[in-house]
Homo-oligomer: A and B are copies of this chain.
Amino acid sequence: MRDISRSGFRDHPSAEMLFVVSAIKRGVSLYSYQEEFFLRTMSLEDCIAHAASIGALGIEVIPEQSMTGHPHIPDDQIAQWRAWMEQYGTTTSATDLFLDTKRHRDRWLSHEEQVASVRSDIDLAVRLGAPVIRAIINTPPEVMRDAAPYARDNGVRLLLEVHAPFHYSHPWILEHLEVMHAEGGVGLGLMPDMGTFVERFPRVVSDRALREGGRKDLVDYIVDLYDDHGDTHALMDIVHYRGGGPVEMGLARQATHFIYRDPAEMLPHMDLIGHVQAKFYEMVDDTTEYSIPYDRIIPVFEQGGFSGYLSSEYEGNRHIEDAFEVDSREEVRRQHAMFATLLGEKPSTDSKA
CB-CB under 8 A for A165 and B233, given A171-B238, A172-B238: yes
With both chains docked as a complex, state the minimum distance between the C-beta of A5 and any C-beta of chain B, in angstroms.
37
Whether A140 and B172, one on each chain, are in contact in the complex, defined by CB atoms closer than 8 angstroms, is no
Interface string of A168-202 (1 = CB under 8 A from B): 01111010000000000000000000000000000
Residues of A114-158 contacting chain B, CB below 8 A: 137-140
Determine chain A's interface SS by DSSP, over half rule: loop
Whether A108 and B243, one on each chain, are in contact in the complex, defined by CB atoms closer than 8 angstroms, is yes
Whether B171 and A225, one on each chain, are in contact in the complex, defined by CB atoms closer than 8 angstroms, is yes
Copy number of this protein in the oligomer?
2
With both chains docked as a complex, state the minimum distance between the C-beta of A174 and any C-beta of chain B, in angstroms.
8
Asked if A213 lies at the interface with its beta carbon under 8 angstroms from chain B, I say no
> Roughly how many angstroms separate A139 CA and B241 CA in the complex, as a whole number?
7
Residues of A219-252 contacting chain B, CB below 8 A: 225, 228, 230-231, 233-235, 237-238, 240-243
> Roughly how many angstroms separate A230 CA and B175 CA in the complex, as a whole number?
12
Q: A238 — nearest CB in chain B belongs to which residue?
A: B172
Whether B101 and A166, one on each chain, are in contact in the complex, defined by CB atoms closer than 8 angstroms, is no
List B contacts of A237 (CB < 8 A): 137-138, 165, 172
Whether A234 and B101, one on each chain, are in contact in the complex, defined by CB atoms closer than 8 angstroms, is no
CB-CB under 8 A for A166 and B234, given A171-B225, A225-B171: yes
> Roughly how many angstroms separate A233 CA and B163 CA in the complex, as a whole number?
13
A residues with CB within 8 A of B: 101, 108, 137-140, 165-167, 169-172, 174, 225, 228, 230-231, 233-235, 237-238, 240-243, 256, 259
